[in-house]
Structure 1
Amino acid sequence: MFLRVRSQDIVKEARLGNRRSPDIDSRPRPHLVRLADAGAEVVTPYFTKPYDNLTLDVGRRKHSVRPHCTVSGATWTESAPGTLALEARIDVQGIAAEDLVVRAHRDGRTVELDAFQTVTMGAGGRVGLRVDLARALAAGTLHRGDWRLSVALRVPGAGEVPVACDRALPAARIRRRGLSAYARPLDGENCLTLRVGIVHPVAGVRRRLRRVLRRRRA
């Protein structure tokens, strides 16, 4: 960023930024900027080293969005069986709920779960995401297999943020078109990966009988 001053046909151009108030936060902070064509781009103001001049990084040439985003705290919601709740911190200024999408990856295939998600924006960059996996299964968007979850910003090339693996997350039973399915987190994964499968009626009855027999013996 430069300031150009013209006086009496004399032009003086000087860089901006190296003299500023100590109250200014000098950390690079990405901003989501809306474009005229309904698109968006990430712009990150920062101060250069060693000269400390103000510069704009347009399009993440030097600054990635990912260090400013984390997704953790996966839990199953009690009020809506089969719905996964995620806690995130998205430190990108100017984002709205429609800018975020939960994605599931399996065997080179990626599906977007925006049709089954709700997003709540909080203060300080806190974001809550709820994904109705039961509806996604019923609609055929998800099917049996191991699905790796991530959250993405709807900006081309912005990358994705993996959902942190929570080893305390239990398996969940999901009702799917009259049949029972399950979603179980896999151990040993770097990010949250759910194994989705169908509970066959006969196998379910056998498990319930075994539980009943164990209780009687106890």
Structure 2
Amino acid sequence: MKSVLKKILYYLFPFIKAYIDFSYSITNKVTLWDFVRFRFLSNKNIYWPIHKNSEVTHPQNIFVGINSNAGTRPGCYLQGNGGIYIGNYVHFASNIGIISGNHDVYNQMQHVNQEVRIGDYCWIGMNVVILPGVVLGTRTIVGAGSIVTKSFSDGYCVLAGNPAKIIKYLNKDKFIPTQFKTEYYGFIPKSKFHHFSKKYLRNNKYLNDNEQLK
């Protein structure tokens, strides 16, 4: 009996420690059950935490970078038809829609897909919609309720409105990039992500040309 209990404790302690380490890597709370569910039950294509009231389509066309919380809050919709690339340390609020494919204006049964790219350290406010083909450069802040219809690839700016436009430029010299002690791609430690991706994400469109994974 003691040996069985010892084995259980030996297994549980590293698992709990892994969850605690993971918790330090993300700005929004993710429950232990979410962590367990991913480890043992969930679709590994969605390797980052998603709130139960958020939705992801075509996860094989989505990449989420280091310590980014893309969808941990309720009401988010990541539509990966044309591809969504999310960089490192990106922060999402609630009720965000990222749309990478839309209906053809002459034939609504046909989709026109265009990739969306969100750069490192972007901050996307509540109720924002980002439409197909948009590129946001490093440290683009999108104000609540904005509809982003075109690209702002230079970054270092604040956007607001419908359609979104630049309301403020940011001083690059004042920007302080975050770097946590623990770094994760979703649920996966940075040091283990290359192995994980080769096993579970072979069909992900971004892995072969992603320099940060090599």
Same structural fold, with TM-score higher than 0.5 when normalized by the shorter chain: no
* Rg larger for: 1
Q: Which has the higher contact order (CA 8 A, sep 6+)?
A: 2
TM-score between both structures, scaled by the size of structure 2: 0.23
* More strand per residue: 1
* More helix per residue: 2
